[in-house]
Copies of this chain bind each other. A is one copy, B any other.
Amino acid sequence: MLFERSVNPGVAAFEGGFLMPENHSVHFADRVHAAIRRTQTPVMVGIDPRPEELPPGFLDQFPTDRAGTAEALRAFGDEVVDLAAPLVPAVKFQLAFYEAYGPEGVAALHATAAHAHGKGLIVVLDGKRNDIGSTAEAYARAYLGKVPVGGRFEPAWNADALTVNPYFGGDGIAPFVKVAAREHKGVFVLLRTSNSTAGEFQDLMAGDQPVYRHVADRLAGWAAPHEGACGDSLVGAVIGATCPAQLAELRSLLPRVLFLVPGYGSQGATASDVGHAFRADGTGALVNSSRAITYAYERPASRAKFGDDWRAAVLQAIRDMIEDLARHTSAGKLRS
């Protein structure tokens, strides 16, 4: 069940001066840049599968027990991956929705993540993990590195990147950075989240700046020693699209840090909100949309146009987002 890095020869070729994502001797940020340049878009498709939102009839193909439900999540995720792979650089899996179905759900995640790798996508696991140093190291080895198996070391998850929570301070982050640096993987640290109560602790003023700015200052230090040829670090930041002022402020504070930006679409942020995440050349960010893409079929306009063809609705939603960002942000420069 280990990830197989099945290389698609058409994708693995050297293209535009960048090596493709499959090449694991290439720095994480360089792989992200290559994928963004190849697809000419910063769109990241988020896969957060909930049985109750699967397209009509989808669940009926599977047994009505927990293993069957997990298998439905796998099948749906695999199909979304197939639709997204030709169009975007990266996918992000929300671990909560898989863990909700126990070990069987986690096996579904593992299978779909491997499938996404096989399609040449950058795979980000959105687990918001962290703990004290020794446990943080266990998470880092689990998701980004290798673990001991019968006298050798093997990858268990082989994700390209993991989201992590900064509440533990530096010694909760260092093991992720160390493992990521060794394995050519990435780490996205939560800075300013997209939810409505994000400010309760993140915006508390400590000295002359809010807590999230203190985290940003430390993040700059974690990131600086780990820049790739493209100039960006393997240490990235999660910053919600629902806080455009902070996005702009942090873009200027952290010029060589890749931003993972959730909140576009169903959380209400627009292209002009996320525009602040990019540098002038359109690089510097991956912008995620999950439910607005995967459950696009639920929208009346989509239903009117595509009827029960949920796959067509997903494709259209991805293309609409790509177009929206290209027209209204500097990401349009990726096409020139």
List B contacts of A172 (CB < 8 A).
195, 197
Contact of A133 among B50, B103, B147, B195 (CB under 8 A): B195
Q: Does A254 contact B (CB under 8 A)?
A: no
Cα of A150 to Cα of B68 in the assembled complex, Å: 9
A167 and B202 contacting across the interface, CB-CB below 8 Å: yes
Cα of A194 to Cα of B134 in the assembled complex, Å: 12
Cα of A68 to Cα of B110 in the assembled complex, Å: 18
List B contacts of A50 (CB < 8 A).
138
Asked, given contacts A65-B150, A156-B100, whether A205 binds B207 with beta carbons under 8 Å apart, the answer is: yes
Asked, given contacts A128-B129, A139-B99, whether A167 binds B168 with beta carbons under 8 Å apart, the answer is: no
Cα of A194 to Cα of B171 in the assembled complex, Å: 11
A74-131 contacts to B (CB < 8 Å): 94, 96-97, 99-107, 109-110, 126, 128-131
A156 and B201 contacting across the interface, CB-CB below 8 Å: no
Cα of A48 to Cα of B167 in the assembled complex, Å: 21
Cα of A168 to Cα of B150 in the assembled complex, Å: 40
List B contacts of A169 (CB < 8 A).
195, 197-202
A193 and B167 contacting across the interface, CB-CB below 8 Å: yes
User: Could you give 24 example pairs across A and B, Cβ below 8 Å?
Assistant: A1-B103, A50-B138, A64-B149, A64-B151, A68-B150, A94-B131, A96-B136, A99-B143, A100-B138, A100-B156, A103-B103, A128-B131, A132-B195, A133-B196, A165-B165, A167-B201, A168-B193, A169-B199, A170-B197, A200-B214, A204-B206, A204-B211, A206-B211, A211-B211
A-B pairs with the 3 shortest C-beta distances? A64-B150, A169-B200, A169-B197
List 16 other contacts, CB 8 Å, given A165-B167, A166-B167: A2-B66, A65-B149, A66-B149, A66-B154, A94-B135, A96-B142, A100-B156, A102-B156, A103-B106, A103-B110, A165-B165, A167-B202, A168-B193, A168-B198, A204-B204, A206-B206
